[in-house]
Amino acid sequence: MNKFWIILSHTYMSRIKTKSFLISTVVTLLFIVAATNFQTIIDAFSDGENDQFAIIDESGELYEPLQQGIQAANEEIDVFLFDGSEEAAKDAVQEEEYQALIVLSLNENELPEANYYANNISDSSNQNFIQQQMQQIKVAYATQQQGVDQSTLTEISAPVTFNTVALDTSAKTDEELSQARGIVYVMLFLLYMAVITYGNMIATDVATEKSSRVMEILVSSASPVTHMFAKIIGIALLGLTQVVLFLGVGYAMIQANQDNMTGGFFSVFGLGDVSISVYIYAIVFFVLGYLLYATLAAMLGSLVSRIEDVHQLIMPMIFLIMIAFFIAIFGLNAPESELIKITSFIPFFSPMIMFLRVGMLDIPIWEVALSIGILVGTIALLAIIGARVYKGGVLMYGKSSSLKDFKKALALSKKE
């Protein structure tokens, strides 16, 4: 057991000191800080002044409704009725006194139209906003011409009342589904990234030791099985260090910037209101999913002795987790489909998809237990097979990029 902890600590410490780990950690932390301070950063680069638009109203009646609509919808845009010629206004825009010039007029049908003049029309946000305001004015004019009362138009344009009610008393409400969707999506993304990042790291670490012949020393002092699981858990602790660091910094930044982070992602997903059981299932399926793919990655990594062969050999594993991720994303909008139900019992998909069903639906406990049981059994079987392959694979050298090397590795393990 002492050898296990020695290999585990060596794996953890050697990886945590690498430049790639430190750089990726720092970059991610900077991204978290930037994301949680996004509005503050935008304000820092802003001059604090509203965008100013010059208006020439050839109709004599469109400026007032446009001004009222803009002020009601966007407080960061100011419009001014320009007292001068159109050419003078264009000159003022070119001299950057105004963001743009808007010339208002009525067409032959007495409906509003506008010409928008700016130094650069690549920024479409303001253009689209002004166009939307003009569209509303046009609708008002057109309905007025047809004798439609404004209150009637407002009633017609109002969204239809559409209430959804689940007849099954155990089914989740819309609010509960939105809350669950947040933690489900976060868990899917974290597991996807963890498998790709740390699975690749495990396979690369084994191949690196083989290429430097360090493996021959290690397997002579500790059994290959001890070595494999020490690698898996060592890399898992490395990942846990990163996750705890990210969550800690993220939580601190969110607490420090609560006033600038209301609405949006936080109000839609409601991460804070999710049932504690969902978090427990998230941890269970995350750990089991990691162990499943990490064991597979270690086994595949033992078959190669050159780092450049690692990516080619673990590609089937990457495809598996990608397929699981894409099915799970589809399942966010259709959690009751047959595809989701069937794949939730397939071991390589169940860490993502059964957790999705647990979070989004109220399913029988026996289905969850069966899925976890199949997953645990698959991990145990894969660990037994993986240990044998690893035992023979670590002694294989030379170019290897084919899964046919499994047979060779198993044959070598029997000679030990």
Confidence at residue 369, expressed as pLDDT on a 0 to 100 scale: 92
For CATH 3.40.190.10, the residue range(s) in the chain are 51-157
- At the fourth CATH level, the homologous superfamily of domain 51-157 is Periplasmic binding protein-like II (3.40.190.10)
- Whole-angstrom CA distances from 211 to 1, 114, 297, 308 are 26, 70, 17, 11
**Structure confidence at residue 346 (pLDDT):** 92
pLDDT at 268: 42
The model's pTM: 0.65
* Alpha-helix runs per DSSP H in 302-314: 310-313
350-362 pLDDT, tens per residue?
A: 998 998 888 888 8
Residues 130, 51: contact at Cβ < 8 Å? no
Which pLDDT value is given to residue 216?
Answer: 52
pLDDT at residue 396 in the model: 57
Distance of CA 21 to CAs 188, 203, 292, Å?
A: 22, 16, 23
Give the pLDDT of residue 372.
Answer: 93
Reduced to 3 states (helix: H, G, I; strand: E, B; else coil), residue 395 is coil
Give pLDDT tens digits for 98-135: 888 888 888 888 888 888 888 887 767 778 888 888 88
CB–CB of 219/397 below 8 Å? no
Report which DSSP code applies to 394. T
Regions of the chain where pLDDT drops below 70 = 1, 38-39, 41-49, 123, 150, 153, 163-180, 207, 209-224, 257-275, 302, 304-306, 390-416
Terminal alpha carbon distance of the chain: 21
110 burial via Cβ count (<10 Å: 0-12, 13-18, 19+)? exposed
Q: Which residues contact 296 (CB under 8 A, 6 or more apart)?
A: 199, 317, 382, 386
Name, in order, each residue with C-beta under 8 angstroms of 172's C-beta and a sequence gap of 6 or more: 166, 180, 360, 361, 362
* Residues 231 and 206 sit within 8 Å (Cβ to Cβ): yes
